[in-house]
Amino acid sequence: MQKSQPVFNPGQQSKFQQLEVEIAALEEQVKNALKEELRQADDYNSPSPIPVIYVSDRFAKSGIRLAQETAYQNC
């Protein structure tokens, strides 16, 4: 039976963990920026924009998904 080898060496592992932390911080910045944009749009009494919800790219490639169903989704 072969012994499994680690995917990352220790230096790569710490760099990978650092990048994960940076990605999480950037995702939070994007989420906060979207919330601020929606808040500002409401402040101007403009027609309501389509509500969006930021989702992690681990789940959706675009990072954004509509908060409401549309007639086109089941076509």
Residue span of the structural domain in which 41 resides: 10-66
Report the distance separating Cα 15 and Cα 20, nearest Å.
9
At 8-63, the pLDDT tens digits run 787 888 888 899 999 999 999 998 888 888 777 666 555 555 666 665 555 555 55
Single pTM value for the model = 0.46
Is 74 among the domain residues? no
Is 51 among the domain residues? yes
Q: Residue 64's beta-bridge partner residues?
A: 54
Is 4 among the domain residues? no
Q: Are 52 and 63 a contacting pair, CB within 8 Å?
A: no
Which residue is associated with the tokens 């920026």? 33
At 14-24, the pLDDT tens digits run 888 899 999 99
Is 45 among the domain residues? yes
Is 61 among the domain residues? yes
Is 33 among the domain residues? yes
Report the distance separating Cα 57 and Cα 65, nearest Å.
11
Domain count, the chain: 1
Is 26 among the domain residues? yes
Report the distance separating Cα 43 and Cα 23, nearest Å.
30
Report the distance separating Cα 31 and Cα 59, nearest Å.
15
